[in-house]
């Protein structure tokens, strides 16, 4: 049968163009043929009979020798070393199952925590419905997601609230060099932990939490990214009550590593490498300190 | 449907070759597609197609419930097609019936043939299709809505899956039957097309056609699917309008 596509003349000149340039970002849909002459099918694409097609809805991001499509929607797809926020959905004798917004629940084994736990005592430390900051450690081909709570900035979340966004918006929430998140923290005095899975934990006064929630809504819905930080900043300035006196003390970590129920109040660790996909959205340095 | 006297049978095709609603034989009903119509679903779409109104919501890939349906090498696609009690003139008795089970099954199988299910082993992709208002062709409208919702949910797939029915009414082959043509016509042939490969992944038939008519009906259906495909793509492009270019952000 014949192909259903005209050649895509709109998208010439992608090969070799710098992937950082925002100017040539092209929305592609599943089944759309991609300009992939001499390139290999990367993530978000497939190849049939020498032609490369998009398999997901997203932005075409040639990355020679690969053609790839960065998805604009969908569930969180875990990557090793991602720091994510999860909620306990099940407690077993030696592990918890966490909902991190991924296709599958992620088991957190008791050895992956800073606590010294006897088998069967897991529910004294974390119960269903409680939330934690964990790091993705390993993925296996069956989709099993191994996470750990051992590491700087990881631990149980006490109080506060969790706001869910599309994982694709997280680079915007952090901003270039952490500029966006710094602005929000400074203008609201709230404590914030950002998970790469699109979940943002916010602690602090109810007013601060509400203002952060609104700021996140602006970011989530803001179509253009030019001036997004200014828009958020002006919203936060407009709603300032005067309580938050400029930059606060940097969030401190006061986790009691040996006791059940440590208090967690720090942003995610800063050691995460910039992921190519995110770099494409906007260069991100999650170093918030 | 019920019993209808012969005098009640409408004229399905005028001498001028126009149909009961004035369409030509190869003309689709007006179709309107909105991608991302629901907030809480991972993906969704609302399709108004003639007098049909169909909502589709996609969740997943996520943990499989019930557990025993889990597959070790691929995602399972669980589809639930349901007609609202108020979707037809006479109240439709709510809940599962043979018809909705069959439609759920054939739609799930059609979708499974385009989704890259191997990428998400041991998970479930749940597709809910709710028919709010029915006027023939709801399984095709459901497939269209479901595949736009799948793309909206970021699920990898070979292609979108346009679908349409071709039928025989008033002795002629007609594209995209409406209710009267379905009820009083001679045949109904719903199909779903993978535009990328030209394969049909759903094809059912009710009624009678000659082999020559079947062949012609398939051509008409494929042409109709390609028109619907354009509408589906336009709906997704509208929802995901690319952010204006900017060199370096704030």
CATH number for B120: 3.30.230.70
* Alpha-carbon torsion (B71, B75, B80, B81), positive or negative: negative
Q: Would A145 be classed as within a structural domain?
A: yes
In a domain, B34, yes or no: yes
Q: Which domain holds residue B202?
A: 21-237
> Both A38 and A96 in a single domain?
no
Give, in degrees to the nearest 5, the angle at Cα A23 between A19 and A27: 85
Does residue A77 lie within any of the structural domains? no
CB contact under 8 A, A226 and B156: no
The pLDDT, as a whole number, for residue B5 is 53
> Choosing among A21, A44, A71, A73, which should be mutated to test the B contact, i.e. which has the most B CBs within 10 A?
A73
d(CA A116, CA A132): 17
| CA B84 to chain CA mean position, Å | 16
Please give the tally of structural domains in chain A.
Answer: 3
Where residue A127 sits, what CATH number does that domain have?
2.40.50.140
Euclidean distance between the first and the last CA atom of chain B, given in angstroms as a whole number: 62
Interface contact B154-A72, CB threshold 8 A: yes
CA distance B182 to chain A (A): 29
Question: Is residue A272 located within the same domain as residue A167?
Answer: yes
Q: Which residues of A touch B229 (CB under 8 A)?
A: 4
Answer yes or no: is A288 within a domain. no
> Residue B102: its pLDDT value, please?
98
On the question of pLDDT at A9 being above 50, the answer is no
Whether A178 and A277 share a structural domain: yes
Q: Is residue A286 part of a domain?
A: no
Asked whether B28 and B186 are in contact (CB, 8 A), the reply is no
* Assigned domain for B177 exists: yes
Q: Say if A2 falls within a structural domain.
A: no
Res. A17: pLDDT tops 70: no
Integer Rg of chain B from CA? 19
* Average pLDDT value for residue range B141-159: 98
Q: State how far the Cα of A115 lies from the Cα of A156, in Å rounded to an integer.
A: 11
Residue A237 is predicted with a pLDDT of 86
Q: Which of B154, B236, B246 sits opposite A75 (nearest CB)?
A: B154
Please report where in the chains the tokens 């932990």 appear, as a residue: A193
The reply to whether B108 falls in a domain is: yes
Average pLDDT over residues A65-93: 95
Q: How many domains does chain B have?
A: 1
Backbone angles phi, psi at A132, to 5 degrees: -140, 160
Closest chain A residue to B223 measured between Cα atoms?
A: A4
Same domain, A196 and A272: yes
Residue A210 phi/psi, 5° resolution? Answer: -65, -40
A200-244: pLDDT as tens digits: 999 999 999 999 999 999 998 875 556 788 888 888 888 877 655
Report the distance separating Cα B104 and Cα B126, nearest Å.
11
Nearest beta carbon to residue B157 from set A30, A176, A179: A30
> Of A92, A123, A157, which residue constitutes the final position of a domain?
A157
A190 and A252 co-located in one domain: yes
Residue B232 has pLDDT above 70, yes or no: yes
pLDDT at A29 over 80: yes
Distance CA B108, CA B120 (A): 16
B196 located within any domain: yes
My answer on whether A217 and A267 are in the same domain is yes
Count of beta carbons in the 10 Å neighbourhood of residue A52: 23
Q: Determine the 3-state secondary structure of A207 from DSSP.
A: helix
If pLDDT is split at 50, 70 and 90, which confidence band does B37 have?
very high
Among B62, B123, B154, whose Cβ lies nearest the Cβ of A57?
B154
Quote the domain boundaries for residue A26: 9-71
Q: What's the whole-number average pLDDT of chain B?
A: 93
Which distant-in-sequence residues (6+ apart) come within 8 Å of A57 by Cβ? A27, A28, A29, A30, A71, A72, A73, B151, B152, B154, B236, B240
Least confident of A46-50, A109-113, A267-271, B75-79: A267-271
CA–CA gap between residue A240 and residue A179 (Å, rounded): 19
Torsion of CA A95, A100, A104, A108, to 10 degrees: -20
Handedness of CA B167, B172, B178, B180 (dihedral sign): negative
- DSSP string of A9-60, one letter each residue: GGG-S-TTS-TT-STT-EEE-TT-B---TT-EE-TTEEEETTEEEE-SSEEE
**Please, what is the end-to-end C-alpha distance for chain A in angstroms?**
58
Contact status, residue A17 vs residue A24, Cβ threshold 8 Å: yes
What is the DSSP annotation of B211-226? Answer: HHHHHHHHHHHHHHHH
Q: Is A81 left (phi over 0), alpha (psi -120 to 50) or beta?
A: left
Q: What is the pLDDT of residue A221?
A: 82
Tokens representing B20?
Answer: 């009961």
Instruction: Please give the Cα distance from B180 to A160 (Å, whole number).
Output: 58
Look at residue A239 in the predicted model and tell me its pLDDT.
83
- Nearest chain B residue to A54, by CA: B158
- pLDDT band at residue B224, thresholds of 50, 70 and 90? very high
Contact (Cβ atoms closer than 8 angstroms) between residue A251 and residue A272:
no
Which of B154, B197, B245 lies at the smallest CB-CB distance from A23? B245
Note whether residue B248 is domain-resident: no
**Are the C-beta atoms of A61 and A68 separated by less than 8 Å?**
yes
Together in a domain, A49 and A37: yes
CATH number of the domain enclosing A57: 2.40.50.100
Chain A nearest C-alpha distance from B1 (Å): 39
The answer to whether residue A289 is domain-embedded is: no
A280, containing H or E segment: helix A276-281
Range in A44-58, A264-278, B224-238 with the lowest mean pLDDT:
A264-278
Residue A118 sits in the same domain as residue A204: no
Query: Residue A212's domain is classified under what CATH number?
Result: 3.30.1370.10
Chain A residues touching B249 at Cβ < 8 A? 176, 225-229, 282
In a domain, B5, yes or no: no
The region that residue A107 occupies, defined by phi over 0 for left and psi between -120 and 50 for alpha, beta otherwise, is beta
pLDDT above 70: residue B131: yes
DSSP characters over B169-220: ETTEEEES--HHHHHHSSEEEEEEEETTTTEEEEE--EE---HHHHHHHHHH
Nearest residue, CB atoms, B195 vs list A31, A59, A75: A31
Residue A217, domain member (yes or no):
yes
Q: What is the ipTM of this complex?
A: 0.91
> How many angstroms away from the CA of B213 is the closest CA of chain A?
20
Q: Is residue B242 part of a domain?
A: no
**pLDDT band, residue A62 (cuts 50/70/90):** confident
Mean pLDDT, rounded, of chain A = 79
In degrees rounded to 5, what are phi and psi of residue A55? -110, -15
List the single residue in A with minimal CA-CA distance to B222. Answer: A4
My answer on whether A173 and A237 are in the same domain is yes
What integer pLDDT is reported at residue A10 of this predicted model? 40
Handedness of CA A33, A34, A37, A40 (dihedral sign): negative
Asked if A150 and A167 sit in the same domain, the reply is no
Assigned domain for A269 exists: yes
Percent of chain B residues past pLDDT 70, beyond the cut = 94
Query: CA A235, CA A246: separation in Å to the nearest integer?
Result: 15
Residues A128 and A173 in one domain: no
Task: Give the tens place of pLDDT for each residue, B161-208.
Answer: 999 999 999 999 999 999 999 999 999 999 999 999 999 999 999 999
Whether A148 and A166 share a structural domain:
no
Q: How confident is the model at residue B4 (pLDDT cuts 50, 70, 90)?
A: low
Q: Chain B: nearest CA to A259, how far in angstroms?
A: 32
Q: Does A249 have pLDDT greater than 50?
A: no
């Amino acid at each position: 049968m014949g192909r259903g596509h005209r050649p895509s003349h709109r998208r010439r000149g992608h090969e070799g163009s710098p992937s950082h340039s925002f100017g040539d970002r092209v929305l592609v849909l599943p089944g759309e043929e991609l300009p992939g002459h001499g390139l290999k099918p990367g993530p978000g694409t497939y190849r049939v009979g020498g032609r490369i097609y998009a398999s997901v809805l997203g932005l075409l991001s040639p990355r020679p020798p690969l053609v790839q499509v960065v998805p604009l929607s969908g569930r969180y797809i875990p990557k090793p070393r991602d720091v994510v926020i999860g909620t306990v959905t099940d407690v077993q004798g030696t592990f918890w199952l966490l909902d991190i917004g991924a296709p599958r629940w992620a088991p957190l084994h008791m050895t992956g925590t800073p606590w010294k736990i006897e088998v069967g005592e897991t529910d004294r430390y974390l119960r269903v419905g409680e939330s934690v900051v964990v790091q993705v450690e390993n993925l296996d081909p069956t989709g099993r997601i191994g996470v750990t709570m051992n590491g700087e900035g990881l631990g149980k979340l006490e109080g506060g609230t969790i706001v869910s966004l599309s994982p694709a918006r997280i680079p915007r929430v952090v901003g270039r060099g952490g500029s966006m998140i710094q602005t929000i923290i400074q203008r609201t005095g709230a404590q914030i932990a950002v998970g790469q899975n699109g979940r943002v934990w916010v602690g602090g006064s109810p007013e601060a939490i509400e203002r952060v929630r609104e700021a996140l809504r602006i970011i989530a819905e803001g179509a253009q990214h030019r001036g997004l930080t200014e828009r958020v900043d002006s919203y936060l300035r407009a709603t300032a009550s005067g309580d938050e006196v400029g930059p606060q003390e940097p969030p401190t970590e006061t986790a009691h590593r040996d006791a059940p129920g440590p208090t967690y109040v720090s942003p995610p660790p800063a050691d995460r490498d910039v992921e190519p996909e995110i770099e494409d959205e906007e260069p991100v340095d999650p170093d918030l300190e | 449907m019920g019993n209808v006297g012969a005098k009640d049978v409408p004229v399905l095709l005028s001498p001028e070759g126009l149909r009961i609603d004035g369409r030509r034989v190869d003309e689709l009903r007006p179709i309107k597609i909105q991608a991302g119509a629901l907030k809480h679903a991972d993906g969704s779409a609302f399709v108004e197609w003639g007098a049909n109104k169909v909502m589709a919501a996609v969740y997943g890939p996520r943990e499989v419930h019930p557990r025993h349906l889990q597959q070790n090498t691929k995602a399972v696609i669980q589809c639930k097609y349901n007609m609202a009690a108020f979707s037809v003139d006479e109240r439709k008795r709510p809940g599962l019936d043979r018809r909705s089970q069959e439609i759920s099954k054939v739609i799930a199988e059609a979708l499974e043939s385009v989704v890259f299910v191997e990428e998400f082993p041991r998970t479930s992709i749940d597709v809910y299709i709710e028919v709010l208002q029915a006027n023939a062709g709801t399984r095709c409208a459901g497939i269209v809505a479901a595949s736009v919702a799948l793309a909206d949910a970021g699920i990898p797939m070979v292609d979108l899956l346009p679908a349409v029915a071709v039928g025989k009414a008033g002795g002629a082959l007609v594209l995209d039957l409406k209710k009267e043509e379905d009820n009083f016509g001679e045949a109904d042939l719903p199909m779903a097309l993978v535009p990328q490969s030209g394969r049909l992944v759903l094809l059912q038939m009710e009624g009678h056609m000659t082999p020559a008519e079947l062949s012609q009906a398939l051509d008409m259906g494929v042409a109709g699917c390609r028109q619907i495909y354009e509408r589906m793509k336009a709906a997704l492009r509208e929802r995901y309008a690319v952010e204006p270019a900017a060199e370096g952000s704030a």
